[in-house]
Amino acid sequence: MKVLPLYNVLVLPHSNIFFQTQAFRAMAGNNIYQGDEVTILVLRDQQTREEMTAESFYPIGVEGVVEEISTDGYVVVQTAARVDVHQVLVNENHEIFVETTKRADIMDMDPAEAHMKLAKIKEGLREMVSRFRFGDMMRTYIDQYSSIEEAASVLSSWFTLTNEERYSLLQEDSTKKRFERLERIIYEYSEVAKVTSDAQSAQQEDYQKAYKEQALRKQIDYLQNELDEMHPEQVSDARKYERKIEESGMNEEAKREATKVLNRVKNDGANSAESGMLYDYLDFVTGLSWKKEAPETINLGEAQQILDEDHFGMKKVKERIIQQIAVMNLRKSQAGSILVFVGAPGTGKTSIGKSIAKALHRKYVRVSLGGVRDEADIRGHRRTYIGAMPGRIMDGIAKAGVSNPVMVLDEIDKLSSSFNGDPASALLEVLDPEQNNSFTDHYMNVPYDLSDVFFVCTANTLDTIPSPLLNRMEVIEFQGYTPSEKLEIAKRHLFPKALKNVGLAEGDVALTDDVLDTIISDYTREGGVRGLKKRLDTLCRIAAVKYIQEEETAASVPANAETTAAAEKHPVIQVTRENLRDFLDMHALPHNKVKASAQPGVVTGLAWTQVGGEILYIESLFTKGSGKTIITGQLGDVMKESSAIAQALVQSRFPEQAELFEKNDLHIHVPDGSTPKDGPSAGITMTTAIASLVTGIPVPPNIAMTGEVSLEGVVSAIGGLPEKLMAAERAGVQKVFIPKENIDDLRDVAAEVRDRLEIIPVESIEEVLTALGILKHK
């Protein structure tokens, strides 16, 4: 007798068990034939025949006969009575031998009741299989079930029972209990199968509806497209916006918001109160460029050439821009810090943004922030407000038409706060490379990627820019132009442009370099070239009048050979130093020049202003009094403190002159009293002026100085050194004392200015007073 080991198979007496032929021969051996008797044993764990031992089997099995080995690939084993397994032997060839005795069932099940319940089970199974595609064929098999064990054996592969639960059914001696357990298992399976079938049917219906709807929509879209192409003038607004939304390339969140607004337009109709606002919103979001532009490799030589052609000088600024372009070429994306250009008006901060856009082959957008005091100007208004508009940032993106323009945020230092919020704080997200890839404008209410925008900010001073905003930017200072640089800028850019604006050609006005130098030195007072541009515009307008007058005069002379030849020649307007005032229609500006003579108590100082550098004089005088100190010239608190420190230093260095301070009042004055003055750089100038006064030793007016001083006499660093040295050179100063800590700043000073000045770095006030010959008379 062959032994057939099974695992996780429902083995019941008086039933049929179905196997695939290949799997059956792997378990029972190839030398088994139809009619062979077998003993079916149940394995405790899943094992191969090589792993099986006597302890691998449960103690109860079942006898059976191989009833059929079909050529269609299946084997049927008909089981008989249960058996008790007394001994199992597994030899070296892994053959299994068993010693068994029959195990009797407890026949406590009423045959009539069993027949009735089996009929109900078969009825339930027939109802269940009617839900499936092959239900009619399965009903035939169900009708042939003669016992509940046979029904359970056929359905056993779908039961969710463990191996132990399946064996427990075989282990059950009571035919009634076994019947009840099988009945419960079949009914549970039947109900689960019904629910699963219903769910699948419902899901299938949903799928069919979705497929049907999708097919209908495709047909409608196709027909609508055909009609739109035949009659483009009749395309509805809703249809136009649908196309725009699909073709815009916007992200999923933006597409959902735009589609929601479009559905409101469709539902409310064109005559609703909100239709205008909704149409404006759809126009704006569909007009934006949502697609990322492909990175472009920029030729550094070409970029350098463009910057040089458009702007003269600015070596440091151009080098930084070329560095930025090189990094972008390597990373194939926007990279680096946000640049903020700081300098005097007219130094080219805004105009160089156009050159950057040209060098990068990008669109240029300028956003003026001067006077902005509402956060909504940056982030936009929420659409719940009447007259809501997008912020200036997104409005600039919309005007550019691309997602990667060069955007110049002009006058960022002129932002202010109000009860409507702080626009500077709103810029934090715009200018932070870690955040601006999902910038959300309140009007749009969806994120937009600003990471590809090349932001450039401009400012005249850093004092009014909040530190959190300034920390996100890299400061690049624009120094004032030297006279020679202004001359080149005027010749290359300003004068040709001024001629073109009034309709004159370059040969119509004769303007020499000497005259241009005079305009620069006597008719402008600035670090930039904005005032120079105004002077040249005025000159060209007046030249245009003279040009027309000369043409009219020539045309009114009676014609002869000489006048005809003269008329054919165009007049040339001559501009000389002598008639320059007539062309500029103004007096020459009074510049502070070094004084012709020296006087004790008067010293030349240097100051920084928003339009560049300037020299100023510190004047001191003793008058009869009681030791008071009088300060005039509209000085700020810092300069007043400097004057007090200067007086204390002089009193400590010249104790023998203490009586002068006790019996006289010290008057300190800085001329041009209507102009407010303040700043930490007049300390050594005031100290030297008071020391000159008490010793009676004059300081040559062509010697200037700048630097703050402490009570210890230490000279500390100052700012604006390039502008101050240019002002000194322009005014005729020959020697300048500067703080030693500012030596590194000399790199930013033009070479021609450094060559014309004798620059002396000092660490203490004693060095200054000794160099001027004041201390030796103690």
Name which residue leads in pLDDT, 343 or 564.
343
Structure tokens at 244: 């725009």
Most confident of 232-241, 395-404, 417-426: 395-404
> 724, 764, 776, 778: which one is catalytic?
724
Taking 50 as the threshold, does the pLDDT of residue 332 lie above it?
yes
Kindly report, residue by residue over 493-511, the tens digit of the pLDDT: 999 999 999 898 888 888 8
Known active-site residue 681: yes
pLDDT-derived band at 235, boundaries 50, 70, 90? low
Binned at pLDDT 50, 70 and 90, residue 559 comes out as low
pLDDT in the model for residue 54 = 87
Strand pairing category for 338-343 and 454-459: parallel
Residues 741-761 have a mean pLDDT of 88
Task: Inform me whether the pLDDT recorded for 539 exceeds 80.
Answer: yes
pLDDT in tens, 3-32: 888 888 888 888 888 888 888 887 877 677
Confidence of residue 375 (pLDDT cuts 50, 70, 90): confident
Q: Which of 349, 681, 776, 778 is catalytic?
A: 681
pLDDT the model gives residue 28: 76
Verify whether residue 724 is a known catalytic residue: yes
DSSP string across 11-70: --SSSEEEEEHHHHHHHH-SS--TT-EEEEEEBSS---GGG--GGGB-SEEEEEEEEEE-
CA pair distance 565, 291, nearest whole angstrom: 64
Q: Is the pLDDT of residue 762 over 90?
A: yes
> What is the tens place of the pLDDT at every residue in 142-158?
777 778 888 888 777 77
pLDDT band at 134 (very low <50, low <70, confident <90, very high): low
pLDDT of residue 399 exceeding 70, the answer is yes
Can you tell me the mean pLDDT for 444-467? 88
Task: Calculate mean pLDDT across residues 526-534.
Answer: 85
Average pLDDT of the residues in 684-688 = 92
What's the CA gap between 471 and 156, in Å, rounded? 73
Quickly tell me which residue has 């006048």 as its tokens.
563
The band of 777, judged by pLDDT with boundaries at 50, 70 and 90, is: very low
Q: Which residues contact 615 (CB under 8 A, 6 or more apart)?
A: 592, 594, 604, 605, 606, 607, 704, 727, 728, 731, 733
C-alpha triplet 645, 649, 654: angle, nearest 5°: 150
